[in-house]
Each structure stands twice: as structure tokens, then as C-alpha cells.
């Protein structure tokens, strides 16, 4: 099965950790309006199944709706039933990656080291996620990029801000996942929209 590793038009994944089904539509609408087309709802959010199903139903034609913090095969199966397009893992678990790829999903696999990266690629992961990126820094991305296949994008996740995004991109990151700097539980959709616009602007500025 072939997958487009440039899956997202805007290579920024919005992470709505902690969102509830009641809040999902308003915040996803704000993100889509700002230009995001990749939205991740982590499975450690309340009633994640309802939130992901709702987002997929109402916004699946405009954005890729994915799930994050995916750890087990049975979660992959539940997500496949909903129609989830991509999953994000916090760790490198080759058996889980293979299972998700077999179910037709794009896998954004969490890693920190070159060994983990190659294990994830061997298992079929189409995108790698360096986590936590702020701890490792942009230099870590540059060093990894020198050995990783050019065809596999590396996204940076964890502490990325509009101010630091350009530095990661300049060192070889293809994109980023944006969590607490974009959305925190309880904030208004207007706040989410404002943060989203700041990240879109930072990405566009970095592209020159």
C-alpha cells in the first residue's frame, strides 16, 4: 500500500490533548479556518472515541483527523472502525506500527534516537516524530537527517513555539506537531484560532 509522506498540505499537526466531545467542533473549526489540515486528538483525552468520530464526520473532508498517544493494537482497530486516517505514537513499537500500516493508516512514529528511527522505518512508519523536540534541539534534527532516508519526513513535537519553529525547519525538520503552545483544555476557540494563525504565519515566514 502506498502512502503519500507529504500527507498534509500544511505540515503542522494540531494536537488537541484533553479536549472533550462538547468542545471538539468549535476548536476544529477554528483550526481549519486558520489553515490547518492535520488534527490529532490524543487517546488520553476524555471520551476520545466520541471526539474523533465527531471531528471525522464533520471535518473529515477538510482535514486529516488523526489520533495520538496510540499504544495498543486494539486502539488501532477501534480507530480504523471510525475511519481515522493517521495515528501518532509517543514511542517506537514496531508491532503496533506494522498493525496500523496494515489497517491502511499513515503512522507518525515517535522516536528519539537513530536506532528507534530505523526500527520505525523498517516497520513501515511513513513519518517520524522527534519527541520531545525542545529537549533535543534543532542540532539533533540536523545530525539525524544526515543518516535517515531523505524520503522519510521528520516532524518535531514537544515545546515547539512560533519562535523556534523556523530553527527546526532550517535544520531539516519537515514539519511539527503543536500541543500546549496551541491548545490547552478550557481555552476559547478564539484563543485556539489566534495561536493557530501565529504558527501558520511562522511556517510561511520560514519558507521565505
Distance CA 43, CA 47 (A): 8
User: Of 9, 22, 23, 40, which one is the catalytic site residue?
Assistant: 40
Q: Is 9 a catalytic residue?
A: no
Distance CA 55, CA 100 (A): 20
Among candidate residues 189, 195, 155, 159, the one with its CA nearest the CA of residue 172: 155
Query: Looking only at Cα atoms, what is the longest distance across the chain?
Result: 44
Q: Where are the alpha helices (DSSP H) in 61-188?
A: 73-82, 94-102, 114-123, 133-136, 138-145, 162-170
Q: Is 129 a catalytic residue?
A: yes
DSSP 39: E
Distance CA 151, CA 45 (A): 32
CA distances from 118 to 51, 109, 114 (A): 33, 11, 6
Cis peptide preceding 132, ω within 30 of 0: yes
Among candidate residues 190, 168, 188, 192, the one with its CA nearest the CA of residue 180: 192
User: Of 23, 116, 129, 181, which one is the catalytic site residue?
Assistant: 129
Positions annotated as catalytic residues are 40, 129
Amino acid at each position: 500500500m502506498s502512502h503519500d509522506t507529504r500527507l498534509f498540505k500544511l505540515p503542522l499537526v494540531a494536537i488537541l490533548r484533553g479536549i472533550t466531545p462538547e468542545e471538539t467542533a468549535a476548536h476544529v473549526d477554528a483550526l481549519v479556518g486558520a489553515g490547518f489540515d492535520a488534527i490529532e486528538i490524543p487517546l488520553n483525552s476524555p471520551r476520545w472515541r466520541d471526539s474523533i468520530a465527531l471531528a471525522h464526520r464533520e471535518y473529515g473532508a477538510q482535514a486529516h483527523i488523526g489520533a495520538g498517544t496510540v499504544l495498543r493494537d486494539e486502539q488501532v482497530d477501534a480507530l480504523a472502525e471510525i475511519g481515522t486516517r493517521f495515528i501518532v505514537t509517543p514511542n517506537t513499537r514496531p508491532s503496533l506500527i506494522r498493525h496500523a500500516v496494515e489497517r491502511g493508516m499513515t503512522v507518525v512514529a515517535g522516536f528519539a534516537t537513530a536506532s528507534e528511527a530505523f526500527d520505525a522505518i523498517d516497520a513501515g512508519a511513513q513519518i517520524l516524530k522527534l519527541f520531545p523536540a525542545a529537549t533535543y534541539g534543532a542540532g539533533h534534527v540536523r545530525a539525524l537527517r544526515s543518516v535517515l532516508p531523505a524520503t522519510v519526513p521528520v516532524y518535531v513535537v514537544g515545546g515547539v513555539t512560533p519562535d523556534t519553529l523556523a530553527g527546526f525547519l532550517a535544520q531539516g525538520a519537515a514539519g511539527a506537531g503543536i500541543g500546549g503552545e496551541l491548545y490547552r483544555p478550557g481555552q476559547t476557540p478564539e484563543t485556539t484560532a489566534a495561536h493557530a494563525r501565529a504558527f501558520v504565519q511562522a511556517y510561511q515566514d520560514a519558507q521565505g
